[in-house]
Structure 1
């Protein structure tokens, strides 16, 4: 039997990278998947790749009106939600000397504010016993030069999981975190780095991973599936590192 048969799952940032890989896996496991993203063309392409068990809704998680529209459509179509994967996020490096208010507000607006209200606004539709998975990063533990604001935003995500696990215990809603290490996703193309800088960054990071390579989006998706399904029925409040041993070794 499929692990998510009959489940309704919402995945923010589901049009590429980890979000898209997870949406494909969820659909394969029997879920109906609702994905969001800021770019309509990419959403439509992703929905076609996922197949018949997916719908796409354009929206920016840092925009409250877009989140309200998302959940209004989900309520009208399905009436409830079983799984939320709050995945949408950005990573734009900046050393402390160059951090601007705009950079800070943009990063925290999407990675922290957007994630918080993604979950809060889902709660009226989320079934008791449902699963919430938050996408953080190994940078919530490990320091990388130039990623201070991004790391702080991901540390906030980890903190949310602890608090929300306590706050939602009466509803038996499990809140967990997945923290990827370096993963081959389009996010590196959006950091504002040159091709040479990206290659040098990748080579440097790979040397810090005991398994000696970047991970794949589908490897993160498998971890998210575990946290979303009944396989993890006694797992709550954890931070699951999927990082090739980067943090632990």
Structure 2
């Protein structure tokens, strides 16, 4: 089976898919959260980009907010600020990771495992039906769909965006 190449951001025709939508993206300073924020901005959404470290240099007119998702008061203030600035909210993409007690140890083990997996990326790719590891933009595209009007009859699901890994 031949691996499908990931889409390049310039190839995507996402403009206007989220016009009028007001979305909060957590973890927006880097990684998947940043990719989601950038994609949603291109798609016309008003984005409140939330992270422990204020997201910088996002294209478009993102509302960049500093808040640690482990601090309920900070999150409440950030959500209130976003809702006030946008006149309401339509969606949330939780891309930030949090850790506490036993969850902290598990997340640390996950980071170590991820680091090892990335070190042997070419060996891991064949374990996926599509023959490669996913790119952050591909996860962002799924979040785009779930946050758009096109998913108006979709609720309460877990969407496996895993290149076929879950059945492979």
Number of residue equivalences: 153
Cα distance in 1 for partners of 2:151, 2:114 equals 41
Match of 1:221 among 112, 122, 140: 140
More helix by share: 1
In the TM superposition, residue 75 of structure 1 has moved relative to its aligned partner by: 3.1
Moved over 6 A (4+): 193-197
More strand by share: 1
Q: Does 2:92 align with 1:78?
A: no
In the TM superposition, residue 76 of structure 1 has moved relative to its aligned partner by: 2.9
In the TM superposition, residue 53 of structure 1 has moved relative to its aligned partner by: 2.3
Classify the secondary structure of the residue corresponding to 1:239. Answer: coil
Contact 2:24-2:47 at 8 Å conserved across structures: yes
Cα distance in 2 for partners of 1:3, 1:194 equals 33
For residue 115 of structure 1, what is the aligned residue in structure 2? none
Higher relative contact order (CA 8 A, sep 6+): 2
| TM-score (structure 1 length as normaliser) | 0.54
Q: Does 2:96 align with 1:88?
A: yes
RMSD, aligned α-carbons: 2.8
Classify the secondary structure of the residue corresponding to 2:153. Answer: coil
* CA shift digits 1:174-201 (9 cap, x unpaired): xxxxxxxxxxxxx9xx93579767414x
* CA shift digits 1:4-28 (9 cap, x unpaired): 1121110010111111111111111
For residue 124 of structure 2, what is the aligned residue in structure 1? 205
Classify the secondary structure of the residue corresponding to 1:223. Answer: helix
| TM-score (structure 2 length as normaliser) | 0.78
Classify the secondary structure of the residue corresponding to 2:47. Answer: strand
For residue 4 of structure 2, what is the aligned residue in structure 1? none
Contact 1:31-1:53 at 8 Å conserved across structures: no
Contact 1:206-1:213 at 8 Å conserved across structures: yes
Cα distance in 1 for partners of 2:94, 2:159 equals 15
Structure 1 gaps, min length 5:
92-101, 108-148, 151-186
Cα distance in 1 for partners of 2:117, 2:95 equals 26
Residues 47-62 of structure 1 mapped to structure 2, 5 A cutoff: 48=57, 50-62=58-70
